[in-house]
Structure formats: structure tokens, C-alpha cells
A and B are shown apart, each in its own frame.
Chain A
Amino acid sequence: MVDFAQPENAFKPGLPGAAEPACRVVPKYSDQGEREGDWLEISMGPQHPSTHGVFRMDLVLEGETVIRLKPVFGYLHRNHEKIAEQTTYLSSMPYTDRLDYFCSMTNNWAYALAVEKLAGLQVPERAEYIRIITAELTRLQNHACLMGFLMQDLGAMGTPLMYAFREREKILDLFEALSGARMMCNYMRFGGCRIDLPPGWLEQTRRLVADFPRFLDEFEALLTGNEIVMARLQGVGALSRELAINAGISGPMLRASGVNYDIRKVDQYGIYNRFEFRVPLGAHGDCYDRFMLRLLEMRESLRILEPALKDIPSGPIIDARAKLRNFKPRPGEAYGRIEAPKGELGFYLVSDGSANPYRYRVRPPSLINLTILEDLCLGQKVADVVIILGSVDIVLGEVDR
């Protein structure tokens, strides 16, 4: 390893007033003190097209091999947690949409779950069904997009991503008809949902769910047997079981390493215990497993959606005790967590009995899944760093908050 405390290895600061160079050459010495060559320090991002937002990686390369990686983030920090402590419980709901802006429905759900625990609200049956349906639709569109973006990172410019976006568009149309907005849904409320399903929505969703396997088959034919995809993804960025557990990784990343841990099964929040679905597991923990696992998860989501759309009962959609104005839960603390498409999304709330939370904390899956990026990338080629980052599935809105 490089000892950067050594003066000869220390990075020279740029000239005063000069811009930080994007790339720097550092001389490399052997143990005997002979000069052996150079290391290259490059700064990937924050405007790099592959970094999925404003995210920077400081890489040190030996030839093309990564020997050190430092993730740098915070460019999108907007003080979500402290703002939420200044405003009422309801007012933070639209801000949770902006955490992982691909999956606003699941973000709403996790926050609503935490507040419901705090205030002791009961969610009516119909609202639980609506929540499951919207959450699984969110999972479908998140995974479809992720696979598209991963292919984009591989160099399959546009085609798979556009196919994924075509399907996502249909799901976003459904969200718009339901909640009024395509991405910033702000749909769930403490103790239920905001408005009932519009007429014809269930039929439209049933049609979409019936059509979706066609897209999955197409995607599978397009990509999974493709030799280039296999060559680029298999064996790259392998994550061991032990490291995954120790680092607190969750979601598809964890399951791709072969750990059977799905909060839908473990916690059985909502009414997930009424549905039959399997939890796909990976064997190698490499990028290909992570990719395939998401494809399989989409098929399982469809298996949840079909009975949910069939059995949804009529009835109220919000707990009659839920209050919109002047909502003050009793003092206490609560942690609500769900299996968001990217992993375990949790909200920790402490209430002191006033209208705003005393403490509001988000456990973002993207950030915690990102912490092992260096371990995944060491010894890999610099071109693979892009793919590994893509397969982790991060959204910077959630990492930086």
C-alpha cells in the first residue's frame, strides 16, 4: 500500500490560485528507495457522466489498476434531517420524496410507517393494499431503470435504457393518475393514503402487470445471454458474504452475496405476509449476480402484484383518528423500516410531544451500500469502477440528503 505520509508520496498542492488538476502524477518508489515508475491520481467526477449524479471518486491508479479509491460526496447536501426537525410531521412528507427520487412511494411509506408507530395509528385494509401495489410498481420501475443505466455504463449506449424508460413511463403515468405527480408523489399519509384510486386505475394497472413479462423477456433476450455483458460483469466487483454483513449492506446488494435477508419477509410490515413470493439469492456476489437478481426480483414483484390487484377490498383509505392539522404524537421514539428497492430504508423519529420531531434521522440504503465501494474496486481496472458503481445502485439525493 502507498504510505501517503511519506514526503515523497505526498501530493503537492497546486500553485496558489490555480485550479485543482483533475489528474496528477505521483512517483513510485520500491522498498529499496529506487524509483520504479509512477502512480496516477485522478479525480473521477463530480461531472463524470457515469457517476449517477454529482459524486466524485479520487482514484490512485497503477497502470490501469485501482490501488486506492476515496469516495467524495456531499455535493447534493440540503440539510433534510435538520429541516425536518424544524417543520411539522406532515411538512416533511414531500421532502422524503426527494431522498431517492426514483422511488418516492417507498420513501413515503417508510416515513409514514415510522410516524404510525409513534402515534399508534392503524392503517385500513384498502390502504395497505394500495401501499403494496404502489411499492411494488416502484420496485419494477427502479430495477428496470437501474439495469438500463448499468448497460449505459457498459457502453450499450441508449438502447436498453430507452427500453427501460419506455416501461417506466407507463408506471409513472399510473402514479400521475393516482397522486397528481409523476415522481414527487407525496401520496401516503399517516394512517393511510391521501386519496382513493381514480376510476379505471386498477384495470390499467392490471393491464400493465399482464404486459410487463413481455418486457422482461425482451430484456432478458437482449442482454442476459450477451457475451459482452457476461465478459464485462462476471467476476467483477465481487462482494463476500462476510463483508456484506459486517458493513451493513442491505437490499439486492446483500442478497446477491447469498444472504437471505429481505425485510418484507423478516419484518412482514404492512400485509406482506399474505403474499407468496420468493427471495432470489446470488451465489458469487459479483456484478452479474446483482444484475440478474434484480431481474428475478421484478418477476417476484409481479407475483405480488397479481393477487394484490385481484383481492383489493373496498373501504376507507385512512384511519379516522389521523389528523392533518395540529398533529402531535405522544412523546416517544420509533423506527420504521421497509425494504425499499435499494435496500433497508429506515426513519428514526424522536417525539417530545410537540408538532415537530425532536430528532429525525434517515437510514439511507444508498449511502451505506456505497461505503464498501473501495473494497469492491481495489485491484480492478479503472473501466470496471464505473460498472461496479452502477451495480451498487445509488441515488445521490439519498446519499447526501
Chain B
Amino acid sequence: MPGFGIIKGLKETARNFFGSYHDPGRFVTIQYPEEKREHHENYRSFPFLVYDGDPVKGLRCVSCKICEKECPPQCIYIVPEQDGSGKLLKFPRIFDIDVSVCMGCQICVEVCPFDSIKMDQEFEVSTADRFGGLILNRSKLAKSNEYYHQIRPAEATAVDAQLAAERERQQAKAAAAKSPAPAAAATREKKP
């Protein structure tokens, strides 16, 4: 019978309309600024740098520039610190990420061999400043290991265990050699 298909469809629409008042399966809208979704632990937005203890001296980054090389849109800019004689130190003097270019792909996190850059979950980063406001410098990027534990408990615990194991191995090696620890190991162990 012509028209029957339309009536059948309208019945479906009516069921959805009334269901949206009492069926919890159909309460799908979230009133965003007032109401916020819980993030899953894996959710990612932009990168940040992890430090242990002191926000400047405790940065884990050794300025090896691997992330700068691998970042697909090339939005990381690193300049290593130099000492008086011009020798490069294993510490970033400048570490900038342009988050207006960053696409949150997590490649930098994956390739970093020192677990020093991780993904944040902060997503409300809009600013009225078109040029400077979206370039995050070293001090804005640095966040503590405690914060990392807070946003990603499981992952941060695993990373801590891995770093501790690595440190022990280094110490054992240094003790076995019965010589002063090599310079590379010493600078890497600036964590408390």
C-alpha cells in the first residue's frame, strides 16, 4: 500500500523522540562547557616535557633532537645548552613546540629514547594571541612526573619502573668496571 513505508518510518522517529525523554540509551548529548566527558587514559592532545624534581634542572630531555627530526610537520625546535667553551651539553636551552602546527600524532613520544616527552590531555588551549600564544616554550612545556602519574597512572608507573631498571643496570656496570662512571652515564643520571 503506498504511503505505508512512510508511516512505518515515522513510527521509528516517534519512538526515538519519546525515547529521548526516558530511555538512558538515547541520552547522548553532553552540555559541553558545564558538563565534561571523562577522558580515557589513552586520550592525547599535545606533548609536554616530563621533569623529576626541579622544573629546569630535572628535565629528562637530553636534547638529542631525535623527536625534532621525526616530527612529521616539523614543529619542534631545539637548541642544546652550551658550556663556556662551546661544548654542547645534554640539556635543551630552547625547546619550542608550535601547537598551531602540531597534529598530536604522538610520533615524538614514541621515538624519544629517554621517556622525556609525553602526551598531555589538556585540550582547551585556545588563545586570542595569534602568533606567540601557541608557541609553547620550555617552561610552558615542563610538567612534573606527578602530573604525568595523575593523567596516565598505568603508563607512568610502567615508565618509572623501566627507568629505575635502566639506572640499576648502569650502576651495576659502573661498579663492575670499578672505575669512575663514564661521563655519558653521569649526565643521564640527574634524576633524584
**In whole angstroms, how far apart are the Cα atoms of A197 and B188 in the complex?**
32
Q: Count contacts on A: residues with CB < 8 A to the other chain.
A: 36
In the complex, which residue of chain B has the Cβ closest to the Cβ of A198? B42
Task: Give the size range of B's interface with the partner.
Answer: 20 to 34
**In whole angstroms, how far apart are the Cα atoms of A95 and B103 in the complex?**
10
Q: Are A163 and B16 in contact (CB under 8 A)?
A: yes
Instruction: Specify which chain B residues have a CB less than 8 angstroms from the CB of A92 in the assembled complex.
Output: 72
Q: Are A221 and B103 in contact (CB under 8 A)?
A: no
Of the listed stretches B2-10, B50-58, B128-136, B140-148, chain A binds B2-10
- State how many angstroms separate the Cβ of A228 from the closest Cβ of chain B: 7
Instruction: Specify which chain B residues have a CB less than 8 angstroms from the CB of A94 in the assembled complex.
Output: 72, 103, 105, 107
Asked if A19 is an interface residue, CB under 8 A from chain B, the answer is no
Instruction: Specify which chain A residues have a CB less than 8 angstroms from the CB of B40 in the assembled complex.
Output: 176-177, 198
Q: Which of B21-44 contact A (CB under 8 A)?
A: 26, 28, 40-44
**In whole angstroms, how far apart are the Cα atoms of A222 and B5 in the complex?**
8
Q: Are A325 and B113 in contact (CB under 8 A)?
A: yes
Instruction: Specify which chain A residues have a CB less than 8 angstroms from the CB of B5 in the assembled complex.
Output: 224-227, 229-230
Q: Which of A164-200 contact B (CB under 8 A)?
A: 166, 169, 176-181, 184, 186, 194-195, 198
**In whole angstroms, how far apart are the Cα atoms of A136 and B170 in the complex?**
46
Of the listed stretches A7-15, A32-40, A83-91, A290-298, chain B binds A83-91
Asked if A218 is an interface residue, CB under 8 A from chain B, the answer is yes
In the complex, which residue of chain A has the Cβ closest to the Cβ of B2? A227
Q: Are A90 and B42 in contact (CB under 8 A)?
A: no
Inter-chain residue pair count (beta carbon < 8 A)? 82
Instruction: Specify which chain A residues have a CB less than 8 angstroms from the CB of B100 in the assembled complex.
Output: none
Per-residue CB contact flags for chain A residues 315-341 toward chain B (1 = under 8 Å, else 0) read 000000000110000000000000000
Q: Are B12 and A186 in contact (CB under 8 A)?
A: no
Per-residue CB contact flags for chain A residues 87-120 toward chain B (1 = under 8 Å, else 0) read 1101111110000000000000000000000000
Given that A180-B44, A184-B103 are known contacts, is A221 also in contact with B8, CB under 8 Å in the complex? Answer: yes
Q: Which of A87, A178, A195, A225 contacts B8 (CB 8 A)?
A: A225
Per-residue CB contact flags for chain B residues 72-110 toward chain A (1 = under 8 Å, else 0) read 100000000000000000000000000000011111001
Given that A159-B13, A221-B9 are known contacts, is A176 also in contact with B42, CB under 8 Å in the complex? Answer: yes
Q: Are A186 and B42 in contact (CB under 8 A)?
A: no
Instruction: Specify which chain B residues have a CB less than 8 angstroms from the CB of A194 in the assembled complex.
Output: 110
Instruction: Specify which chain B residues have a CB less than 8 angstroms from the CB of A88 in the assembled complex.
Output: 70
Q: Are B41 and A198 in contact (CB under 8 A)?
A: yes
Q: Are B106 and A225 in contact (CB under 8 A)?
A: no
Asked if A223 is an interface residue, CB under 8 A from chain B, the answer is yes
Q: Are A180 and B42 in contact (CB under 8 A)?
A: yes
Given that A94-B105, A195-B42, A198-B42 are known contacts, is A222 also in contact with B110, CB under 8 Å in the complex? Answer: no
Q: Are A227 and B28 in contact (CB under 8 A)?
A: no
Could you list 25 examples of A-B contacts with CB < 8 Å?
A90-B107, A90-B110, A91-B71, A93-B107, A94-B105, A94-B107, A163-B16, A177-B42, A178-B42, A181-B43, A184-B104, A184-B105, A186-B105, A186-B106, A194-B110, A218-B16, A222-B8, A222-B12, A225-B4, A226-B9, A227-B6, A230-B5, A324-B111, A325-B66, A325-B70
Known: A186-B107, A226-B6, A325-B70. 14 other contacts (CB 8 A): A90-B111, A94-B105, A94-B107, A163-B16, A180-B106, A180-B119, A195-B42, A221-B11, A222-B8, A227-B2, A227-B5, A227-B6, A324-B110, A325-B111
Q: Shortest 7 CB-CB distances between A and B: which pairs?
A: A225-B5, A94-B105, A180-B44, A91-B72, A177-B40, A222-B9, A180-B42
Interface residues of B (CB under 8 A from A): 2-6, 8-9, 11-13, 16, 26, 28, 40-44, 66, 70-72, 103-107, 110-111, 113, 119
Interface residues of A (CB under 8 A from B): 87-88, 90-95, 159, 163, 166, 169, 176-181, 184, 186, 194-195, 198, 218, 221-230, 324-325
